[in-house]
């Protein structure tokens, strides 16, 4: 009954959105004979034994660690590693990514460059953290303090992995070291002196698993008689953070101990008109068409609002360096170009009109055009150097060599329906172009990439009706059609029982037989 209701829901949804849904390739009975059966959207034909199998099921007819799914070519069935896993060249089995299972001590299983249609992984050695009391997190290649939240979801803390003393894992339990951070009401773990599970504003999660505020804590704010987490906005105006000034050490004697104060965030300057702090060269507190200007003079600091100094598509360089188009060399050293400020949180701080010099990046390692990135402690860009999506670290090919970048021009001009691409070419808007299946080329409306009344650069985005799905193995986003999303959802809700249908003499009327040991449907034709 539950399965039938699932089919009804699916049919209703498909009829509702049929104007925007493109049927998946395996829904065509010409290529998938199983599609003509009831619930055929969940089944896929396996030519070797002429039977139908439920999509996304693990094991037979695939190897036990793989799952069966439709391939990109007309829904041809393929066996692939499930999401979050990759195949090892050692034994061709699939293993969980960023785990030690297959690897030696101090190593973890990490994704490699995509080869063909498969996802492959290899054992990589984890880094040793320079600071004592820190643990290495393989997914981003960074170190975090032990027993801190670090990269973990809310309610979990970073602890030592059972397989490695130098690598961390996320967990929460009311035993061992974590017992002191445990909150029994929700079964979660939280750092001390953070908001944690506390509901009342001005209270912190304190040792002893209590919520409260103590006047002798540096977190205490006398004006409100409350405590606030250090580094948060606390009781401060916008653009501030609640911190202990560097000169006031928390470990200092009680007589000289100071409390946290409202201080402008890094890169922000206070505007005395409203008491808030703003990043210079954003709109800040200014009227439309003006930017927040901060200039250091011989007599002090000149702060105010000035008209936008640059036309659309160009960024401002102070000290008389003028306005320059993004991607050109402008006032930058050889080998660098004008870039947007990547440290600005546009959604919070607004668009920054201040340019910076740096090396352009690309995540397409297979592109004909060289990927360029600034090496640490170096002012040149290296051919073949790229920042990997999985580890956020810099990798280099054997042919690394410093290069000079020629200033980029607006190669696409004012052509209607054409937009510039990251590799310097022009692409047709709203076509698949260089994008993956389910994506199309759209204007990139981020980072203020204006070009006259249009937009300067293009990017890939899911087509209408498609859903983003994070592929953990490659760190990329896959766009899935609604039918695939629904199939995954409903497939998890149905029984593992399936119906066996045969056209032989044993079942002349094609009656159904319930199978408890098989999850496939026979399509044998005599």
List the chain pLDDT tens, one digit each, 526 residues: 444 444 444 444 444 444 455 667 677 777 788 888 877 777 888 888 888 888 888 889 989 899 988 877 666 788 889 988 988 888 888 998 888 888 888 888 888 865 556 688 889 888 888 888 899 998 888 899 999 999 999 999 999 887 777 888 899 999 988 999 999 999 999 999 999 999 888 899 999 999 999 999 999 999 999 999 999 999 999 999 999 887 644 444 444 568 899 999 888 899 988 999 998 889 899 999 999 988 777 777 788 899 998 888 888 888 778 899 888 888 888 878 888 876 666 666 678 888 888 876 544 443 333 333 444 444 456 443 333 333 333 333 332 333 333 333 444 655 556 777 776 667 777 777 778 777 788 887 764 444 443 456 788 888 776 777 766 555 556 777 766 655 565 555 544 434 333 333 333 333 333 333 344 444 443 3
Angle separating helix axes 2-16 and 482-493, nearest 10 degrees: 170
Parallel, antiparallel or unpaired: strands 300-307 and 261-264: unpaired
Give Cβ neighbours of residue 250 (< 8 Å, ≥ 6 apart): 218, 244, 257
SS3 (DSSP) at 252? coil
The CA–CA distances, whole Å, from 196 to 27, 174, 188, 418 equal 48, 16, 9, 50
The CA–CA distances, whole Å, from 29 to 32, 47, 53, 488, 519 equal 5, 14, 15, 20, 20
CA angle centred on 329, ends 325 and 335, rounded to 5° = 145
Parallel, antiparallel or unpaired: strands 439-443 and 458-462: antiparallel
523, 32 Cβ separation under 8 angstroms: no
Cis peptide bond N-terminal to 491, omega within 30:
no
Q: What is the pTM of this model?
A: 0.56
């Amino acid at each position: 009954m539950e399965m039938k209701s699932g089919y009804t829901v699916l049919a209703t949804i498909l009829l509702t959105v049929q104007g925007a849904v493109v049927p998946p390739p395996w829904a065509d009975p010409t290529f998938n004979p199983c599609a003509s059966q009831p619930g055929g959207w969940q089944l896929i034909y396996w030519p070797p034994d002429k039977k139908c199998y439920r999509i996304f099921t693990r094991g037979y007819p695939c190897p036990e660690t793989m799952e069966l799914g439709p391939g990109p070519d007309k829904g041809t069935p393929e066996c692939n590693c499930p999401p979050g896993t990759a195949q090892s060249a050692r034994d061709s089995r699939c293993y969980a990514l960023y785990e030690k299972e297959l690897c030696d001590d101090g190593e973890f299983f990490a994704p490699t460059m995509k080869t063909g249609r498969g996802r492959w992984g290899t054992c990589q050695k984890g880094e040793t953290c320079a600071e004592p009391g820190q643990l290495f997190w393989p997914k981003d290649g960074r170190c975090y303090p032990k027993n801190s939240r670090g990269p973990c979801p809310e309610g979990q803390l970073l602890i030592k992995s059972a397989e490695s003393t130098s690598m961390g894992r996320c967990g929460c339990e009311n035993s061992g070291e974590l017992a002191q951070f445990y909150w029994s009401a929700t079964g979660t773990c939280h750092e001390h002196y953070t908001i944690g599970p506390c509901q009342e504003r001005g209270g912190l999660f304190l040792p002893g698993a209590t919520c409260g505020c103590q006047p002798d804590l540096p977190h205490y704010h006398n004006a409100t008689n409350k405590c606030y987490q250090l580094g948060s906005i606390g009781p401060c105006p916008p653009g501030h953070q609640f911190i202990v000034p560097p000169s006031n050490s928390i470990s200092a004697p009680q007589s000289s101990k100071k409390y946290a104060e409202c201080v402008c965030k890094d890169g922000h300057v206070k505007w005395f008109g409203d008491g808030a702090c703003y990043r210079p060269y954003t709109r800040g507190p200014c009227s439309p068409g003006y930017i927040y200007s901060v200039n250091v003079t011989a007599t002090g600091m000149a702060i105010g609002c000035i008209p936008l100094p640059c036309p659309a598509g160009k960024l401002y360089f102070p000290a008389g360096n003028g306005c320059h188009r993004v991607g050109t060399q402008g006032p930058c050293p050889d080998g660098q170009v004008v870039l947007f400020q990547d440290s600005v949180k546009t959604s919070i701080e607004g668009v920054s009109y201040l340019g910076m010099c740096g090396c352009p990046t690309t995540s397409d390692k297979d592109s004909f055009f060289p990927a360029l990135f600034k090496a640490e402690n170096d002012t040149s860009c290296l051919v073949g150097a790229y920042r990997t999506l999985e580890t956020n670290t810099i990798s280099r090919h054997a042919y690394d060599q410093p290069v000079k970048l020629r200033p980029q021009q607006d190669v696409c001009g004012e052509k209607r329906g054409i937009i510039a691409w990251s590799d310097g070419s022009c692409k047709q808007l709203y076509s698949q172009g260089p994008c993956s299946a389910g994506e199309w080329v759209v204007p990139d409306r981020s980072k203020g990439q204006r070009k006259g009344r249009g937009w300067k650069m293009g990017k890939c985005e899911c087509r209408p009706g498609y859903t983003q799905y994070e592929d953990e193995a490659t760190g990329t986003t896959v766009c899935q059609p609604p039918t695939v999303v629904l199939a995954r959802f409903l497939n998890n809700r149905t029984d593992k029982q399936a119906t066996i249908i045969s056209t032989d003499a044993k079942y002349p009327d094609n009656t159904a037989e319930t199978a408890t040991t098989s999850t496939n449907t026979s399509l044998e034709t005599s």
